[in-house]
Structure 1
Amino acid sequence: GVTSSRRIERLCRENIVFMALGADLQPDHSTIADFISRSPETISALFTQVVMTCDQLGLIGKEMFAIDGCKLPSNASRQWSGTHEELDKKRRKIDRAVRRMLQRHREEDTAATEPDIHEREQAQIKKLRAASRKIKTFLDTEPERRGVSGAVVKGNLTDNESAKMKTSHGVIQGYTGVAAVDDRHQIVVYAEAFGQGQHAAHGECLPKNVIAL
């Protein structure tokens, strides 16, 4: 299938099937990406309808399914990842930095310091305070998660459903995407993203979903 928003945009301009399905609206890739990110339940319901239609047409054999997965990066910064203990330690470190800067600022007030230096320091203090508030709000509102092994899963301030995981290209903040494909016509009958890195654990939930067919 086609999952890239840019490829879908191009196909909506060039491919007659996509033009018909899109009512010849030819949406921009950013519009497509925004719709998908804001409408997960709608996309899931549409996917279910497509699979049911394929089943009604006899395109799904229901005898053998291939299951595979891959790790996908999310749009989240790794610097905002950590356990509650690690993030609280980072918040306290930021608060100490703010106090030091304020002390230095008071000392410089008595000296002939350039005005633009004060402005830069004030901007930095404002930025650090905002970061501290962001961490505190996260710690107050988001419960700490645990993985299938019982170990604490590092949260992320910008995308707390994602997780830090190792890949062949290094460590990423992202998801494990898992899919099941029917062998008759290679139709994807199940797909989901998990904020954990263990493929085996995700495989346990697949039979329950595939068996529903």
Structure 2
Amino acid sequence: MGYIQGEGRQQSSLFPPTLEELVPEDHLVRVIEAYVARLDLQALGFSKAEPLKTGRPGYDPADLLKLYLYGYFQRIRSSRRLEAECQRNVEVMWLLGRLAPDFKTIADFRKDNSAAFQATCRTFVQFCRQVGLISGQLVAIDGSKFQAVASQRKHLSLTKLKRQQAKLEAQIARYLAELDEADRSEAAEVVDRSAVKAALQQLESRHADNLTAQALMEVQGLEQFVVGESEARMMRTHQGARVAYNVQNAVDGEHGLIVHHAVTQDGSDNQQLEPMAKAAQAILAQEELTVTADAGYSNGEQFQACDDAGITAYVPENRGINNKGDDTPLFDRSAFSYDVENDQYQCPAGQWLSLKQVNGLQRIYALRGDCTACPLKSRCTKAKRRHVTRHVHEAAFERMHQRMQVHPEMMVRRRSIVEHPFGNLKQWILGNGRFLLRQLQGARTEMALAVNAYNLKRAINVMGARRLIELLG
């Protein structure tokens, strides 16, 4: 029995198929077509949204936007690859009406419309809110590091430069010692003086460049700098230290749609709870909001700010533990009872610790005398007297602790909501989780397109393409 045979290449057809016949009614490109058709590109800020009256006609921004949305949906981000898709991909031919812009036109459109892409992403979130895909009952916040274009080798820091300076000075000293030894022993025929001098000159040039780089960084107050991508930062990731950006996501708990995202230069999440929660609250237009995040977002000042804004946060506390240095625990702060009226602490031995000083957001309490005669000293402190710190927003920490005690399941819900979108963004849309565009603006442009593609995919999975096309129409 033979194989299934294809149609002969020379076989003629009385009625050749049209592009319309080749694209199913519930195909992705029809969703993108309906979505872009409802957008006011001029209001969103796209360049050339109004055609010029003179000169050669340009490409409609709507067509290029469709191309990028399709590309990011299909993990095709390169402008050269998108150019090739226009000439060979039937789906793209249907979407663009057989237009085939060159890669430079495609790349320039992405470069020139960063703010417009971000506005488009927010517009789709508002649409999802209107059709009930986003409930706003619970929002989970998390951050993840995405690699920048620049490599780790391009990263400079004052610490690294000083280490290099010491190595260069040692090498220079070794070459000078070799020349001196050659002069003393009159063994010039053994040592190639011209080669040594050339190497010495090269080392001295590198040493001068090193000192110049250090001086420039100190004048500008920089602790680190990435050559070729000055806005990227060295950050700790699961794969070790990488030049990266910290991407923050606020994800709705109903269907896992991303309500708000931000690309930051902060290496940690400690300062991101308040801005992300307030941004999500503004987008959802709610007076009250419930958010959850992991212990990396623990920040008393921001806990208080969220409470003041009507945002109920569920975040595990991340505070230091008092120990002897050998992991033997000493009396924790919780062993000391606080007297609110007199603003003082009572220790386990019954002594009172009064306010000694205020250091930033920390209030420091200590005993008036010392703890030498206290029978509990070995279990309390190794210093002469015990100090207890109280955060200015300690009450906010206590409220957070009580909330987490009542609802410990919030951490399980947080994981199930927010980690799925990051997995999709890194592996499905951005491929290797690395940006193609340089600097903060480029990273924000790419992330806006990636988030828009992710939200579009989620909406299709939840509602179905046909229903979504109806609602977009």
TM-score (norm 2): 0.33
Structure 2 partner of 1:123 = 202
- For residue 199 of structure 1, give the secondary structure of its aligned residue in structure 2: coil
Question: How many pairs does the alignment contain?
Answer: 194
Match of 1:156 among 225, 236, 256: 225
Q: Deviations over 1:144-165 (max 9, x none)?
A: 5xxxxxxxxx523435544443
1:16 CA drift (Å): 1.6
Question: Paired residue for 2:241, among 171, 184, 188?
Answer: 171
Is it true that 1:196 corresponds to 2:266 in the alignment? yes
Structure 1 residues 98-107 or 44-53, which shifts more? Answer: 98-107
Offset of residue 128 of structure 1 = 3.0
Which deviations, in whole Å up to 9, do the C-alpha atoms of 1:83-142 show, x marking residues without a partner?
x5x36744752673476367458648954525344333323332332232122211112x
Which of 71, 78, 95 is 2:145 aligned to?
71
Q: Distance in 2 between matches of 1:168 and 1:198?
A: 13
| Paired position in structure 2 for 1:100 | 173
Q: Following the alignment from structure 2 to structure 1, what is the Cα–Cα distance between the partners of residues 174 and 109? A: 43
Does the residue aligned with 2:101 lie in a helix, a strand or coil? Answer: coil
Change beyond 3 A, Cα 1:50–1:157: closer
Partner of 2:103: 27
Check conservation: 1:98, 1:125, Cα contact below 8 A: no
Query: Does the CA-based 8 Å contact 1:71-1:174 persist in structure 2?
Result: yes
Could you tell me which residue of structure 1 aligns to residue 37 of structure 2? Answer: none
Contact 1:165 1:197 in 2 (8 A): yes
- 175 and 19 in structure 1: CA distance in 2 versus 1, 3 angstrom threshold: same
1:47 offset after TM fit, Å?
1.2
The alpha carbon displacement at 1:206 in A equals 0.8
Residues 19, 26 of structure 1: 8 Å contact kept:
no
| Residue aligned with 2:272, SS | helix
8 Å CA contact 1:162–1:173 kept in 2: the answer is yes
Q: Which amino acid aligns with 1:48?
A: A
1:48 aligns with 2:119: yes
Higher Cα Rg: structure 1 or 2? 2
Structure-2 change in CA distance of 1:69 and 1:26 (3 Å): farther
Amino acid at match of 1:130: D
Q: Counterparts of 1:19 and 1:122 in 2: how far apart (Å)?
A: 61
Greater CA drift, 179-188 or 130-139: 179-188
Q: Which residue of 1 aligns with 2:134?
A: 61
AA of the residue aligned to 2:278: K
Q: 1:156 to 1:76 in 2, by over 3 A?
A: farther
Name the aligned partner's letter for residue 179 of structure 1: N
Q: How has the CA–CA distance of structure 1 residues 171 and 27 changed in structure 2, closer, same or farther, with 3 Å as cutoff?
A: same
Per the alignment, residue 147 of structure 1 pairs with: none
TM-score (norm 1): 0.63
Q: Are the structure 2 counterparts of residues 122 and 133 from structure 1 closer, same or farther at C-alpha, using a change threshold of 3 Å? A: same
* Residue pair 1:164, 1:171 contacting (<8 A) in 2 also: yes
Quick check: 2:252–2:258 contact (8 Å CA) kept in 1?
Answer: yes
What's the secondary structure of 2:103's corresponding residue?
coil
- For 2:31, the equivalent position in structure 1 comes to none
Question: Aligned equivalents of 2:282 and 2:225: distance in 1?
Answer: 33
2:115 partner SS:
helix
Partners of 2:262 and 2:181 in 1: CA distance:
56
Higher strand share: 1
Following the alignment from structure 2 to structure 1, what is the Cα–Cα distance between the partners of residues 247 and 92? 30
Structure 2 SS opposite 1:205: helix
Structure 1 residue 178: Cα displacement: 1.1
Shift of 1:11: 4.4
**Structure 1: gaps spanning 5 or more residues:** 145-153
C-alpha displacement at 1:205, in angstroms? 1.1
| Structure with more contact order per residue of length (Cα contacts < 8 Å, sep ≥ 6) | 1
Residue pair 2:155, 2:225 contacting (<8 A) in 1 also: yes
**Residue deviations 1:26-46, cap 9 Å, x none?**
427xx84x986x66xx41342
Partner SS for 2:261: strand
The change in CA–CA distance for 1:136 and 1:35 in structure 2 (over 3 A counts) is: farther
Are the equivalent residues in 1 in contact too, given 2:142–2:248 (CA < 8 A)? yes
CA distance in 1, matches of 2:180, 2:264: 51
- Determine the structure 1 residue equivalent to 2:276: 206
Change (3 A) 1:20 1:122: farther
